[in-house]
Structure 1
Amino acid sequence: MPKKINFRIDGMQCIRCQAIHPLMDYFEGCPPCMEAGTPASVAPHYTAWPLSLDFDTIGDWLAYPEPSGLGEGNTPLSNLPRLAAALGLSALCTKNEFGNPTGSHKDRMGRIVVKRALDIGAKTIAVASSGNAGVSMAAYAARSGLECVVVTTPDLNPNWRRAIEMHGARIVATEHSDDRWALIAQHARTGNWYPATNYTIPPVGSNPFGVDAYRAIALELHLQFQAVPPTDIIVPTARGDLLWGIAKGYRDLRDSGLARSIPKIHAVEPYPRISGALAGHGMVGTFPGDTDMVSIGGNTVTQQSLHALEIAKGSPVAVDGDDVATDQAALAKEGLYLERSSVATLTGLRKLISAKKIASNARVVLIATSHGYKEQARFLDRLPTKPLSRQVSASR
């Protein structure tokens, strides 16, 4: 069976030590860095870039060029002129990743992970997920005829559970969140499951081919803003898969000569993990906190998050849940009902402007990873609500 991988890839490169390893799957990151106690992700090493870029040829820039047929990518923008004016910005918009087939950015990863699994003959994909990634991998596995196991916890949102089961995936619930990783590690190391997400502690990020797929967001933004590029991009961040992918995509555009510069790319988190690591509290420790922004939860930091901020000269910012709830209502008044993890980008934007990390005349893009319809009601208790009005029939 001929390989379908992009012919421009000749190996996998460590994002930390820059060593280039043979073209294989390194689910636990760079082996020498892991052995040295400094775990770091690897990424596909491209020997060259295509000579041009348009919406029809974005696939040529990715590890697996062939589309899935589900229609992921090329997500739209929503302009927010009233909020831009209120914040003193030149322009503000969202990149609507909820426009992907299963309603989140995870579909970009799902497409590539499935292509890679098929390429190497894997039969079962496994994903540790509290929601979006599980639904996405279940859908893309079903599309490609692969088995899928979603390892989650007993409190999985019933909206996500129903979607996962409808796609035919098997759900396995572990008592604690970290137990998910141990179970996937066990099966991945024996070759039974092909992992889509990280399973190591300390973490190194998700499947490196899947993470690489997020570069497409940078490629699309480059095409959508060719006349006047954004100055700042704000990304909801857990372990930095999305953050790294966008930063790497812009660096590749610059290195190819198609872009002159890289916008500042900032990381929004629910409590100060990245800033704690940058302040010298260690890369391999834990940064505990509690949040209802489940898509960006977790208590660890990855090298890829730090390197992404270094590439894009961005800043980390932690946001308060009550402020995010207020901004969720503010964005809804603009016609966008987003999950709280996405709304956190607007809250982070306010803080970054206040801290003078973003100029008052900046052109800002917020990455809207998913819409709010997936959230359980228990996450919405702080939203302002009004009693339903009763309509009297005109015939009475």
Structure 2
Amino acid sequence: MIHTSSLLEELECSSCGCTYLPSIVHTLSVCCQAPLLSRYQLAPISKERLLTRPKNLWRYRELLPVIDEENQVSLGEGYTPILSLPQLARRYDLPSMWLKDEGLNPTGSFKARGLCMAISKAKELGIQTCIVPTAGNAGVAMAAYCARAGLEAIVVMPDHTPEAFKEECRAYGAQVIVVHGLINDCAAKVQELNQDGRYFDVSTLKEPYRLEGKKTMGYEIAEQFDWKLPDVILYPTGGGTGLIGIWKAFREMQTLGWLSDTQRLPRMVAVQSQNCSPVVDTFLGKQTNSRQYVGKPTLANGLAVPRPLGEPLMLQTLTESNGTAVAVSEDELVDGVGEIGKYEGMFVAPEGGAIWAAYKKLKQQAWLKSDDQVLLLNTGSGQKYLDNLKGKWSRRP
């Protein structure tokens, strides 16, 4: 017997709007080779029903794509805390600031959200083996959820990825393949290995469901702020599913009536490393798009995505929200990790350090207003990045 509450109706091509049935396996849209977006029957749903539900991402199950609840593969992901940063606010004479700590998810990063959903849907669709190119955290999350679901996992990582990521994947029983280069080189290896389509490729936005797991951050932000959204959200941006997903959630909540008619949506900020800043360069008009962009490795492994498939959707999010994109140096993001650790007692990932550095930069540029309520998103735990951060503390603020 199928126990369902999902309101999933169809999949929609993000480029032309052509629709597809969600009951069969899809990757990119056939029409445009573009990412597919899940669309729901967004009839009014009372948000009060959330009050009695467990505090994990499945509390939003009507707005998630898994049809049969028996296929929900879970390790307790979601509903991560939003914490104030009082010492940093006092130190820099800033208004109230907040940080949502995604490092407290299973496997230590926000990737648990997306891979939880992708693997749950893969299980529902009868898939046996999943494959992913990854800078680190996505591979770890996929391996963990495949193990939980009883599926096989193949993870393709750059050779410079810290050993902690590789060993954790192996601990979950995944096959780990190491490639010289960045994640785009890993993607090419995945394509080579999967020429006959025997594996399900859960690369960023090449299937529709990682995005749906990531969007739950947006629902949580609204709920945790008592349905009054912050003015600005700073987000570390590599493949972009989190940025796109949070914005998708806000738009869905508008349709659902969960946000008031007068609620202004946050300005979204994409933060990247100067070593790999394709979205920043495109947003600022330095290039037409990132299809030929050549990046370099960064201590923030998750930001080393030189040619993101989701660039058009990211640019749409930034434009619709009146947001911006900013790149920070490697030294700045290391200093950011150090400051958050020293003054707030949180060991954030380098991506989280980049967010704090970007905040200070935007404040200096007066892009941020003095009374803006700002939310920073730390996407992972710093524990796995010890190889990257070792010996860097001599520059500590």
**Structure 1 length as normaliser, TM-score?**
0.87
User: What runs of 5+ residues in structure 2 fail to find an aligned partner?
Assistant: 54-58
Going from structure 1 to structure 2, the CA distance change for 1:190 and 1:69 (only over 3 Å counts) comes to same
User: What runs of 5+ residues in structure 1 fail to find an aligned partner?
Assistant: 35-39, 199-204, 387-396
Confirm or deny that 1:300 pairs with 2:307. yes
Aligned residues between the structures? 373
Question: Matched residues, percent identical?
Answer: 25
Going from structure 1 to structure 2, the CA distance change for 1:227 and 1:64 (only over 3 Å counts) comes to closer
CA contact (8 A) 1:241 1:304 kept: no
CA contact (8 A) 1:79 1:92 kept: yes
What are the equivalent positions in structure 2 for 1:35-114 lying under 5 Å apart? 40-49=34-43, 51-53=45-47, 54=50, 56=53, 57-64=59-66, 66=69, 67-114=72-119
Q: Specify the SS of the correspondent of 1:365.
A: strand
Report the equivalent of 1:310.
319
How far the C-alpha of 1:258 sits from its partner, in A, is 0.9
Give a deviation string over 1:148-201, Cα, whole Å, max 9, x none. 111113333211122111111111123343342123224545331111114xxx
Report the equivalent of 2:208.
208
Q: How large is the Cα RMSD of the aligned pairs?
A: 2.3
1:367, 1:82 → 2: CA distance? 18
Confirm or deny that 1:191 pairs with 2:190. no
2:281, 2:268 → 1: CA distance? 18
Going from structure 1 to structure 2, the CA distance change for 1:109 and 1:326 (only over 3 Å counts) comes to same
Give a deviation string over 1:108-143, Cα, whole Å, max 9, x none. 111111111111111001111121111111111101
1:357, 1:21 → 2: CA distance? 41
CA contact (8 A) 2:38 2:208 kept: yes
Question: If you compute each CA radius of gyration, which structure gives the higher value, 1 or 2?
Answer: 1
Confirm or deny that 1:231 pairs with 2:231. yes
Q: Specify the SS of the correspondent of 2:326.
A: strand
Report the equivalent of 1:389.
none
Report the equivalent of 1:358.
368
Report the equivalent of 1:246.
246
Give a deviation string over 1:358-385, Cα, whole Å, max 9, x none. 2111111111111111014343333228
CA contact (8 A) 1:89 1:362 kept: no
Going from structure 1 to structure 2, the CA distance change for 1:185 and 1:230 (only over 3 Å counts) comes to same
1:284, 1:336 → 2: CA distance? 34
Report the equivalent of 2:339.
330
2:294, 2:18 → 1: CA distance? 32
2:92, 2:65 → 1: CA distance? 39
Q: Specify the SS of the correspondent of 2:230.
A: coil
CA contact (8 A) 1:80 1:92 kept: yes
How far the C-alpha of 1:356 sits from its partner, in A, is 2.4
Q: Specify the SS of the correspondent of 2:97.
A: strand
2:166, 2:281 → 1: CA distance? 34
Confirm or deny that 1:270 pairs with 2:273. yes
**Structure 2 length as normaliser, TM-score?**
0.87
2:10, 2:194 → 1: CA distance? 21
| Letter paired with 1:19 | C
Say which is worse superposed, 295-304 or 130-139, in terms of deviation: 295-304
Confirm or deny that 1:19 pairs with 2:24. no
CA contact (8 A) 1:11 1:20 kept: yes
| Letter paired with 2:63 | W
CA contact (8 A) 1:41 1:303 kept: no
Give a deviation string over 1:296-344, Cα, whole Å, max 9, x none. 1121242121122123221101111111111211100110111111211
1:41, 1:256 → 2: CA distance? 24
